[in-house]
Amino acid sequence: MTESDPEGLDQVQRRLQDVIGSLRHLQGERPSTVREQLERGIAEAGLPEQPGSWLRDCAAEIAAGRVVVIGPKEIPEEVEHLEPDPEQHATS
């Protein structure tokens, strides 16, 4: 499951992306609630524990309704059709 095992790494990334995708319904929830569900999903999927800072940031993104992508092979199809949010990407 390291860079020396690309197939294993791809499999882990796919499984982790599935866990994240299963939590989209938690948009608008408190990040702490999302983090609990994220940790539970990771454990239930048999994936290795993730760093606390990553869990915190990922949970905050999910709670805010943003799409979290683990690796370039795991970009959800709908992301290709999203337009930038003008509020977040305003030019000066």
Q: Write out the DSSP string of 20-75.
A: HHTTGGGTTS-HHHHHHHHHHHHHHTTPPP--HHHHHHHHHHHHTTPPP-SSGGG-
43-57 pLDDT, tens digit per residue, is: 999 999 999 999 999
Share of the chain above pLDDT 90, in %: 57
Q: Is the pLDDT of residue 31 over 90?
A: yes
pLDDT tier for residue 1 given thresholds of 50, 70 and 90: very low
31 and 23 Cβ atoms separated by less than 8 Å: no
Task: Give the model's pLDDT for residue 69.
Answer: 83
d(CA 90, CA 81): 19
Report which of residues 77 and 70 the model is more confident about.
70
Which of 20, 25, 7 is CA-nearest to residue 75? 20
pLDDT tier for residue 36 given thresholds of 50, 70 and 90: very high
